[in-house]
Structure 1
């Protein structure tokens, strides 16, 4: 049974409370690092790191327990998709919107671009980051002969820097207001 004032609580109120909770937690942990790293950068690392952990967890669940490591047949285009690729798309179905929401409302909330513009730019950025991950791994492992784990660490660092700068300067930029 709902309380009498339940009709006064709407989605926007709940959303605002969740946003404030996330900001309070991140900003609490930022305090010891405030002289070293700006709040926005720390928020980006916290939100992106949390979303990455969620992505890996969902991938593991999808690959091992939902798909049970079995290929998926796509009848409309008549191809089989490996379980590892299908699990990637399944986890991205959750982490793409959560990543966008965290970036839009927690990290880059001062952006005054229209939401649909931000979403389209975020979608393009994610696509570029997927391609960058692939290309850099190929270069580091196959051309530079780095160990795959070292290559993955280097690739992740470069892609995270690229993603942060692109989101700050393009996807969620603050457009100058004309007087």
Structure 2
């Protein structure tokens, strides 16, 4: 499966090889695909699964869009981790548990920063919501790429 996914992604790489490394291209394709999956699941959950404005999970009440976000994240989080671990950063020799914890940490930070930056840009700077979210996606994608490359999926330092 890994070889097939690499072959598909790498088929589209040649026009970009002068500009970005293969790993960065794989990260962009994997991340973009995972973001599309997240958005599709969010759309389906929001429009077809959750029809009431407030959704109850036992004693927990969530707004419809937060419930849809939670469902989408429950799919895109493991898919994103697996794509990063086995497609983008397969040379990392850190234990999977360490990688998963670090990946979860980056995801939690991204959720927090997305929320905070959206409130700042829209609420205080009065930017339009969609361009603000697009800017946030670019910022958080860069942050995530560098964190995943140099922390989450890094190689252990060799002892000499």
TM-score by structure 2 length? Answer: 0.95
Q: Which has the larger radius of gyration?
A: 1
> What is the alpha-carbon distance in structure 2 between the residues aligned to residue 33 and residue 73 of structure 1?
47
SS at match of 2:12: helix
Find the counterpart in structure 2 of residue 118 from structure 1. Answer: 99
Which residue does 2:149 correspond to in 1?
A: 168
Q: Which structure has the higher relative contact order (CA within 8 Å, separation 6+)? A: 2
- CA RMSD in angstroms comes to 1.2
Structure 1: give runs of 5+ residues left out of the alignment.
1-17
Count of residue pairs brought into register by the alignment: 160
* CA distance in structure 1 between the aligned counterparts of 2:33 and 2:4, rounded to whole angstroms: 15
Separation (CA, whole Å) in 1 of partners of 2:82 and 2:52: 30
2:135 to 142, 154, 157: 154
> In structure 1, how many angstroms separate the alpha carbons of the residues matched to 2:124 and 2:19?
36
Task: Tell me the TM-score normalized by structure 1.
Answer: 0.85
Runs of 4+ residues deviating >6 angstroms: none
Runs of 5+ consecutive residues of structure 2 not aligned to the other structure: none
